[in-house]
Structure 1
């Protein structure tokens, strides 16, 4: 049995000048494009918790000041990503097997793998938040009891406070009218909430977020479907359909950001953008809370730590190492290896350009609409609040356009991430010597199949108990940011100690790699400090 991802990646070898077991690398762009793939899979996984949720919330909380942070978070990781891929292609080893060779303290396995174990436990919670987002989106689209829609119908307190502030200080501000229309859409309950706020009473007399069932029922359905499809390997159509909708939703978001520039209330000036590209912390509007969440989001935006680890697995499945053939001392092997590493770099950097543009657009959307209106996606309002960013442009159609895109984006992330995590968990069990060594890049591996069925249900269980999905995603992002420092150290070890000397890159590449690794280590230390302050 093979998975559709494996079927997509393992295309028949083209004839080459090498032996039957190897394939010469493509010599022109047209043929090179035929061999990309791992980066596209990563992009499908990235847009979910990283871009739609973490990036948009970072913009909503911190404002334009953190634009530079978003750009840096997307660009600097690709050098470490390529170095991990280079070592995998050269040695034919999985990522965890390679990481286990890095020097340092060992307790059955080395220290990096224990950091990975902690991160992966938290990643299950992160995916619990994502499947919760799927459930919220479906509950708004296809209500069962209607309890979820009723619970999120009231405007947020932050938005109401923003309305009162602007109405009293500058009633002609176009944003006053924009928020008033939002209150109108909530009907009598919206104006009652405003009256309660001005009277110093809770905006919702019942207090707190109720425990709703519609979103949990739909989240359970999504998790069960994912479990079945991953177990039987029958999700090719859904995966291709999801990736298509992810692309369409991303273009919809880009169009939304461009269209916002033609509105009076939500346009962004060039001065604001330039100010956002200056290296500063969150301004007074966001404060410390915005910076803390941004550090958590750093592990998710662009290529996160889990994507960095899983990327070499997909490179191996795509056949890059197989096309090179077993390493030997011949010049033919060196030529093939350099050629396929060029393909891998093209794949990595091409996907980096795509997800950087998408990430910046999600961030600008969060700044232009949510930050200005005092909205902050969290808890059971995560999806409903994110949808508000599309209302100024798409009006009454925004709900359906956003929900269709959100379901596709979040579910695609949930699907791909669980497929990747099953491989990594199986490989981790091998490195810990809990199970015999086997090919974990094969969809027929029984351990991979079993974990593929189990992991989606574990993720759903965490959402079912009522934990805040954004909090789950933030904790997962924080541990991923910590893991980035360990991966940076490993990348430096592979480049300067372990890699075949014939495959050494240029000095300019080494400089960028060192700068990238140093930055990741610095952010990792910040994340560890935040985790220590919050949870220890």
Structure 2
């Protein structure tokens, strides 16, 4: 990357942002979001109000994150550990966002996807890097997690409208599995980013409002919490018997390794890198890139705020309502147990309110996964030489094909295992381990492909260092625990 000339002060940058993306002329194909062309450059917004209009990738990320980690794993952890691990919830959501932003900054500056960057980190195994191989192995485990998310959605629908047979009976679960998977495939059949963003925004707003309002209203019920309960959650201990839940929660709540990876694709498809333009070494390009990186950071922080609010709310709800009753979500009865959060606090009438909220949370996660995973696998096939990733039509064709193939595959895992909580936890542990590899890749790419100008902020660097250290320690602990080598009383 050629070093740009010295930048001018912000006061000298008078660039009015366009109100919206210019329409594509009739008969002209839309620009390739993964290709950087000088014709596609656009001035970044210079005010907060204007920047908000360009947010979006973070909402898609929030939709993918909140369902499995927050509703299932975090609530189950609160039910099992009480308020004792509240500190881990805060750390889990806080430390990972800085690695996410660093990886996304590299993407905006280079126009490359995360998996492409991972392939540049040696040692290489054939045509790809070792981190790509690790991602493939992780995604196999994540298939169980996605099956668990589908299972949770299916169970909620089955309880609300059994259709065939008894609620949670096999006929009802099978019918609803088919209907849920078919609806996802139909919704995402075009593979367009705009469709994904709109669907994600609606579901994120719905589940955030429902969850946060319920958590804030708990003190008005018989399961209210006190300030001393919240304070006890910051003793920085891990109660015996909760390490499995804790490790899974750290890997899956907030931004996980797969969401960090996926976020680079959404930033590209939104247009941040394309609007910055190809790196021609000029001051103008550097200034545009800085502007769009600021927008990306605002987008990531907005997503972090949503994830943190939902994570804390679900944990507090589990600790306040389920833990005192010794109720821990398990198997297909997970939805029935979780519904006690509402019925025990608001009355029997709230049973259906919970089901609606659970469907919104879990369905949004399926949307995020079904939209992102086909892109990741298509990129992987491109790196392996099976698909021409640079060919827009070929890429779109494979993405659409995988959008049809993968969700039914995840659903099959659920129908055979039918234990959503365990399935989600397996994916969470795998995600926690992969986080360490992502951190290594971020530091390598930062050192080799990001100009010093863009990494001069000492505060952001310090936050990245702290974030990386916390992720590495938890990742190493996860590996040791998997092999029965965990240390400490919590193991």
In which range does the TM-score fall when normalised by the shorter chain? 0.7 to 0.9
> Equivalent of 2:76, from 32, 44, 57?
57
Q: Which residue of 2 aligns with 1:7?
A: none
Deviation at 1:531, TM superposition (A): 2.7
Is 1:403 equivalent to 2:383 in the alignment? no
Q: Which residue of 1 aligns with 2:449?
A: 498
CA contact (8 A) 2:455 2:461 kept: no
Summarize deviations over 1:273-312 as a string: whole Å, max 9, x none: 1110221112xxxx22x22111012111011111100001
Note the 1:313-328 alignment, pairs <5 A: 313-328=265-280
> Equivalent of 1:271, from 222, 225, 228?
228
CA contact (8 A) 2:158 2:173 kept: yes
Q: Which residue of 2 aligns with 1:98?
A: 117
Q: Which residue of 2 aligns with 1:384?
A: 336
How far, CA to CA, are the matches of 2:294 and 2:388 in structure 1? 34
> Equivalent of 1:33, from 43, 46, 52?
52
Moved more, 213-222 or 477-486: 213-222
> Equivalent of 2:178, from 217, 220, 224?
220
How far, CA to CA, are the matches of 2:196 and 2:153 in structure 1? 15
How far, CA to CA, are the matches of 2:204 and 2:137 in structure 1? 30
How far, CA to CA, are the matches of 1:326 and 1:242 in structure 2? 30
Q: Which residue of 2 aligns with 1:448?
A: 399
How far, CA to CA, are the matches of 2:394 and 2:86 in structure 1? 40
Deviation at 1:495, TM superposition (A): 2.1
The Cα RMSD (Å) is 2.3
SS at match of 1:376: coil
SS at match of 2:216: helix
CA contact (8 A) 1:369 1:389 kept: yes
4+ long deviations beyond 6 Å: 234-239
> Equivalent of 1:345, from 288, 297, 301?
297
Q: Which residue of 1 aligns with 2:306?
A: 354
Summarize deviations over 1:59-81 as a string: whole Å, max 9, x none: 11111110000110001011100
Structure-2 change in CA distance of 1:313 and 1:239 (3 Å): closer
Deviation at 1:439, TM superposition (A): 5.4
Summarize deviations over 1:379-408 as a string: whole Å, max 9, x none: 011111111111233212211111111112
TM-score by length of 1: 0.80
Is 1:147 equivalent to 2:166 in the alignment? yes
SS at match of 1:147: coil
Note the 1:106-117 alignment, pairs <5 A: 106-117=125-136
SS at match of 1:445: helix
> Equivalent of 1:374, from 326, 348, 351?
326
Q: How many residues align?
A: 454
SS at match of 2:167: helix
CA contact (8 A) 1:46 1:302 kept: yes
CA contact (8 A) 1:39 1:311 kept: yes
**Unpaired runs of at least 5, structure 1:** 1-9, 150-210
Q: Which residue of 1 aligns with 2:433?
A: 482
> Equivalent of 1:12, from 15, 21, 37?
21
Q: Which residue of 2 aligns with 1:193?
A: none
TM-score by length of 2: 0.88
> Equivalent of 1:260, from 207, 218, 227?
218
Deviation at 1:242, TM superposition (A): 6.2
